[in-house]
Amino acid sequence: MAHEMIKPLNKRKSLTAELIEQLRSQILSGKLAPGDRLPTEQTLVTSADVSRTVVREAVAALKADGLVITRQGVGAFVAENAGKDTFRIRPGELATLEEIINVLELRMAVEIEMAGAAAERRNQSDIDAMHTALKAIDDCIASDVDASAADFELHNAIAAAANNPQFVRFLSFLGTHLIPPHDLLMKYDLDQAGTSESDRQASLLQETQQEHKDLVRAIEARDPQAAREASRRHLANSINRHRKAFHMRQELAAS
């Protein structure tokens, strides 16, 4: 039976993300076919050894992905067109440092050339949009509020400047997952011992923002090579920061 396929979850990982992956794997492999009912909430709670909140979040994420439909008072069922959706980063898939690094590597494979194309094809309206986004990020940093939305708008503006709709579609598929969350990075950032987490985060945001400004400056100067290098540096620095945190986490776990 379907519930017998669900295994207890690894408590060191995101429980919601792991349950999503177990259920998604069964759906995409055909073990749970279109029209099949998912195991009941109580069955999943027992089989996966998690709370009802985790189960409800997992089912909601699968529903948002178009893999599951729910029927009031009846339960959750595999959608008829399950598995036919387009590429996207799924809810819960940025729950670990490893997953964040995977997405950053994917971005690097696309965004370096996107930056070069933007430098060759941008117009003044594109540059204005980039500067608006840069200012919004600066304002967020100064006000100590989340800059993720403004950061995403900057990358969207660069994609639009490349004058290739596929770049815009790619970023749209990634959505807000384009910008990695800082909580895991801050947790294992021990280079600035003795400083508060808010100070460490402010320092990280300032460093990242300078990389943004270097990138926009190269695009504005119509220098494709410099734009590619600025994009490479920005993403490589982020990957290196997360890899360093990953190795620090491993060392702490082994000690």
With pLDDT > 90 as the criterion, what percentage of the chain qualifies? 42
Token couple for 135: 């200012």
Please list the residues that pair with 143 across neighbouring strands: none
- Count the residues in the chain: 255
* The predicted structure's pLDDT at residue 214: 98
Position 252 pLDDT exceeds 60 = yes
User: Cβ–Cβ contacts within 10 Å for residue 48, how many?
Assistant: 22
What would the mean pLDDT of 20-25 be, rounded to a whole number? 85
> What would be the CATH architecture of the domain defined by 97-254?
Up-down Bundle (1.20)
Global pTM value: 0.63
How many C-beta neighbours within 10 Å does residue 251 have? 11
Q: How far apart are CA 96 and CA 113, in angstroms?
A: 27
Paired sense of beta strands 68-71 and 75-78, if any:
antiparallel
71 or 251, which is more confident?
Answer: 71
pLDDT tens, position by position, 24-47? 888 877 888 889 999 999 999 999
Indicate whether 102 pLDDT > 90.
Answer: no
Domain ranges of the chain: 2-78, 97-254
The one-letter code for the residue type at 27 is I
Residue 89 has pLDDT above 60, yes or no: no
pLDDT in tens, 182-215: 666 666 655 555 566 667 777 888 999 999 999 9
**50-71 mean pLDDT:** 87
pLDDT at residue 114, rounded to an integer: 98
Cβ-based burial of 5 (10 A; exposed 0-12, middle 13-18, buried ≥19)? middle
Q: Does domain 2-78 have CATH number 3.90.70.10?
A: no
> What does the alpha-carbon distance between residue 210 and residue 233 come to, in Å, rounded to a whole number?
11
Residue written as token pair 């670990």:
96
| Gap between the Cα atoms of 206 and 222, Å rounded | 25
**Residue 12: pLDDT over 50:** no
